[in-house]
Structure 1
Amino acid sequence: MSGRAHEAGALHQDMGHRGPEWLRAPADVNALLPALWSRSVAREDDGELAVAGHRVGALAAQFGTPLFVLDVADFKARCRDFVTAFAGADVFYAGKAFLSKAVVRWVAECGLHLDVCTGGELAVALAADFPPERLGLHGNNKSVAELGRALDVGVGRIVVDSFDEIDRLTALARERGVRPRVLVRTTCGVEAHTHEFIATAHEDQKFGLSLSGGAALAAALRIIDDGVLDLVGLHSHIGSQIFDTAGFEVAARRILGLAAQVRDARGVDLPELDLGGGFGIAYTSQDDPASPKELADRMRAIVADECRARALPEPRLSIEPGRALIGPAMLTLYEVGTVKDVDGIRTYVSVDGGMSDNIRTALYGATYSATLASRRSAAGPLLARIVGKHCESGDIVVSDEFLPSDVRPGDLVAVPGTGAYGRSMASNYNHVPRAAVVAVEGDEARVIVRRETEDDLLRLDVG
């Protein structure tokens, strides 16, 4: 091999032995870090993992693997924690994180609003009888059909994302004789401390209208001057998996500065402000998310200070916690198929799912944790890479994790924090049917999204 390739190979081997700098072998490979799991997850006396008292072995036997297991009580508690912390504000659940009719009903029960960004997500919300006045419609390229349906069912607010969309929505509203409530999505130039694929407020990306270039102000003034749409506020979303409020402080300062410009230009005080959210969760021991109360206290103080500085009345606040609501409430259960030591470089533990049920690791290097779920082991720790069954070397579930050195085929492995963007971004790559979602609550374990079958795959193939 060439010298460059040899150096790369040596680095790969070294990293295979050590893993990331922060990763250290645990004193007890069976221990669970509570911050990573839903609140009811625990080990039974024999070491088997249970969710809300439901043993994972029994769940796997009844429903198969891979399997998404949703702790309903945990999810509802997280929803209510945010509603309580942000009392007087509107808390929106992000349908894109994970959506099903059951989840929609729980979101409604807990008093949240719901964001949808496609006609399909809107259809799920309507099928579950979600109050349309508590719906918000997002998206950077809403079709005429999607906007028309939103108007027809009475969606509570539409977040407009471009001049083309403003024109499109204005024409549809005129035709129907309605006046929909809209917010202008503003790109405020904040560089969120997150991966570039989930940072959404810097200038060079597809979302929103630029504040610095004047497009956001021009859009707001056009809407006011046309008088067809009801401009109720401004919207900002700086990204996802955010752990501190520094970015929100900068965003609030800039967005409220825009609100002051609108007031000065047209004498209109906008009554609403959506600061987005995308609050982070713990995927590994290195993640330290803030509590809902901490986030609420800081964000309220930020908005109050900025409004005071500009002599603006405080707007009604909206937030979008994103993965913080559903992410920790779900785990994915896999069965180990093979364990392969590659010449001392690395041990690969292959499971029966992979990038078809969690694309995030392959897509942008997301990090996860895992544990042996079906038993307790007295063996020492083994630094392993948990991989899927797909025909891609990038098909990685967990890049580096310590499992017991006696991990073997037939074992069950659980990955926490998969409620957001696991099942919702799932695919049929290699014609693998998508996994089921099982909800556990009290004595009940029931399927809320059934496992796909080969018949499902073939039904769409019309030959």
Structure 2
Amino acid sequence: MSSNPLAPSWLRAPVDANALPPAVWSQNASRDDSGELVIAGVAASAIVSEFGTPVYVVDEADARSRAARIRSSFDREFARVGGAAKVYYAGKAFLSVEIARWVTEEGLNIDVASGGELAVALAAGVEPSRLGLHGNNKSRAEIDRAVSVGIGAIVIDSVLEIERVADAAARHGRVQPVRLRINSGVHASTHEYLATAREDQKFGIPLADAAAVVAQIRSHPELSFLGLHSHIGSQIFESDGFAEAAHRLFTLHSQLLEGGDVPELNLGGGFGIAYTSVDEPLDVEEIARRFADIVAEGAREFGVPIPLVAIEPGRSVIGPSTTTLYEVGTIKDVEVTLSGDTEQAEPSSAVRKYVSVDGGMSDNIRPALYGADYSARIVNRASAAEPVLVRVAGKHCESGDILVHAEYLPGDVSPGDLLAIPATGAYGWAMASNYNYLGRPPVVAVLDGRARLIVRGETEADLLSRDVALRPGEEL
């Protein structure tokens, strides 16, 4: 196969464009004898026949096992160093009533970042003490509801929130546990929009101001100070940033012990996953081992007890478990002029094949927003055709409506084929929109050969239901 100069340097041409790299796909995804994708015993065509496209398909056993594996790994490694860990699922990645039940049944708590996410967790029957509330601009109503139901922890993100949380706790006759989010200044090696511990950003309290803010928290009898919180970013593949953030937090943590208890240390989440075959994230067992060693070393260095360590994974639980299915619509070969040697009489060119599908940035905004890379496969059949470089585009009226910037698919990809993009569980459905008045797709869980709807897709009637200019009896 000849190489295409439009391919990015990291993208490797596959030996087999039908293969499903196991690091990218959910654990129970495979091809059957006919070459069709089967997830947890359910064929892609059967899912599409019942639920249409686009559709998010969640491998339930995969999601559950990832949650359980993270919890058991951190339990084991922190017990090894004489400590303990508490794992929160970061609901912002993807939260529904069913997902909330899965992760809590596997032993995780849940971190919510809005009143709506709190409502979903409560609707799922999650014990409020197993919830934590985040957010840089929590409304008074959100704080009041969280306190009133007995939420386990509220993360204080600004000085203003101290009084607001204390007032709500006083009204409800409660002592509210709180953490203080610290802007550690550690820069995670990730996309700028995903790095959340830089000095010039909206989250947290500067490290230098933290001791005074903790003193304010402790001055309120309605508040119980749990400890410090840090989150250095998302889609992180190494542990150096966590180690540096922990060191800085331990410096403050040890100082704060002089004024009272500091039972916990929350190091956030952001563990990366594989979106393409070249991504090499750390195994969760290795992450847990490194975290335990980092915390144990920090405690030894500062001569303090090992605190209870909280973490907040989201993407690493739900991301790899989910695959989005689309139907191929139009296909277009576009000749692209290459910037070459100026001495050449004629500039050279190459062909990029655009494969357009029936979804797009309304069901996965990350490629357009972050430049995120994904993989893709044709999944209704296998093909022996030579792989060609493609760009998978959506159907929206935006030139940036791209789902997969660069991938190799069989050259005989055709209208009507089913195309699957794996690892779409995190921030796909959660960030979905109705741009161009497309309804958000359904979410289907598959387990042991059965598919069931867990979030209904939106219809045109749903889209019109909030339009007050539509008179009763009128239809689209």
Normalised TM-score (structure 2): 0.92
Task: Deviation per CA, 1:312-353: give whole Å up to 9, x if none.
Answer: 111001111220000000000010001101135311000000
Match of 2:330 in 1: 338
Match of 2:147 in 1: 151
Match of 1:232 in 2: 226
2:167 alignment partner, one of 164, 168, 171: 171
Match of 1:142 in 2: 138
Helix, strand or coil: the match of 2:247?
helix
1:411 alignment partner, one of 395, 412, 417: 417
Q: CA deviation at 1:16?
A: 7.2
Whole-Å separation in 1 of the counterparts to 2:287 and 2:232: 15
Q: CA deviation at 1:158?
A: 0.5
Task: Deviation per CA, 1:111-170: give whole Å up to 9, x if none.
Answer: 100000100000001111001100000000001100000011000000110001112111
Normalised TM-score (structure 1): 0.95
Whole-Å separation in 1 of the counterparts to 2:35 and 2:321: 21
Match of 2:308 in 1: 316
Contact 1:326 1:420 in 2 (8 A): yes
Match of 2:284 in 1: 292
Match of 2:432 in 1: 426
Task: Deviation per CA, 1:412-435: give whole Å up to 9, x if none.
Answer: 010010000000000000000000
Whole-Å separation in 1 of the counterparts to 2:395 and 2:10: 28
Contact 1:17 1:346 in 2 (8 A): no
Q: CA deviation at 1:171?
A: 1.6
Whole-Å separation in 2 of the counterparts to 1:229 and 1:262: 16
Task: Deviation per CA, 1:4-39: give whole Å up to 9, x if none.
Answer: xxxxxxxxxxx9743110212211111111100000
Match of 2:20 in 1: 32
Task: Deviation per CA, 1:280-316: give whole Å up to 9, x if none.
Answer: 0000122111111111111111111111111111100
Amino acid at match of 1:173: A
Whole-Å separation in 2 of the counterparts to 1:240 and 1:161: 19
Q: CA deviation at 1:269?
A: 3.3
Q: CA deviation at 1:263?
A: 2.1
Amino acid at match of 1:205: Q
Runs of 4+ in 1 over 3 A off after TM superposition: none
Match of 2:370 in 1: 364
Amino acid at match of 1:201: A
Whole-Å separation in 2 of the counterparts to 1:130 and 1:303: 29
Amino acid at match of 1:315: P
Amino acid at match of 1:327: G
Are 2:260 and 1:272 equivalent residues in the alignment?
Answer: no
1:386 alignment partner, one of 392, 398, 406: 392
Q: CA deviation at 1:59?
A: 0.7
Contact 2:178 2:223 in 1 (8 A): yes
Helix, strand or coil: the match of 1:20?
coil
Whole-Å separation in 2 of the counterparts to 1:23 and 1:448: 35
Equivalent residues in 2 for 1:113-124, closer than 5 Å: 113-124=109-120
Match of 2:214 in 1: 220
Cα RMSD for the two superposed structures: 1.1
Whole-Å separation in 1 of the counterparts to 2:209 and 2:136: 15
Helix, strand or coil: the match of 1:253?
helix
Whole-Å separation in 1 of the counterparts to 2:173 and 2:121: 24
Match of 2:455 in 1: 449
1:353 alignment partner, one of 353, 356, 359: 359
Are 2:196 and 1:200 equivalent residues in the alignment?
Answer: yes
Contact 1:437 1:447 in 2 (8 A): yes
Q: CA deviation at 1:180?
A: 0.4
Match of 2:61 in 1: 73
Helix, strand or coil: the match of 1:346?
strand
Unaligned runs of 5+ in 1: 1-14
Q: CA deviation at 1:356?
A: 0.2
Task: Deviation per CA, 1:181-226: give whole Å up to 9, x if none.
Answer: 0000000000100001110111111111010xx2222111111123
Q: CA deviation at 1:261?
A: 1.8
Is 166-175 or 242-251 further displaced after alignment?
166-175
Task: Deviation per CA, 1:225-278: give whole Å up to 9, x if none.
Answer: 2333100111000010011111110010001111112123x2x23000110111
Whole-Å separation in 1 of the counterparts to 2:222 and 2:200: 30
Amino acid at match of 1:35: A
Whole-Å separation in 1 of the counterparts to 2:244 and 2:284: 20
Whole-Å separation in 2 of the counterparts to 1:355 and 1:217: 43
Contact 1:269 1:312 in 2 (8 A): no
Contact 1:249 1:302 in 2 (8 A): yes
Contact 1:339 1:347 in 2 (8 A): yes
Are 2:49 and 1:43 equivalent residues in the alignment?
Answer: no
Contact 2:6 2:352 in 1 (8 A): no
1:261 alignment partner, one of 255, 259, 263: 255
Match of 2:126 in 1: 130
Match of 1:281 in 2: 273
Match of 1:307 in 2: 299
Helix, strand or coil: the match of 2:267?
strand
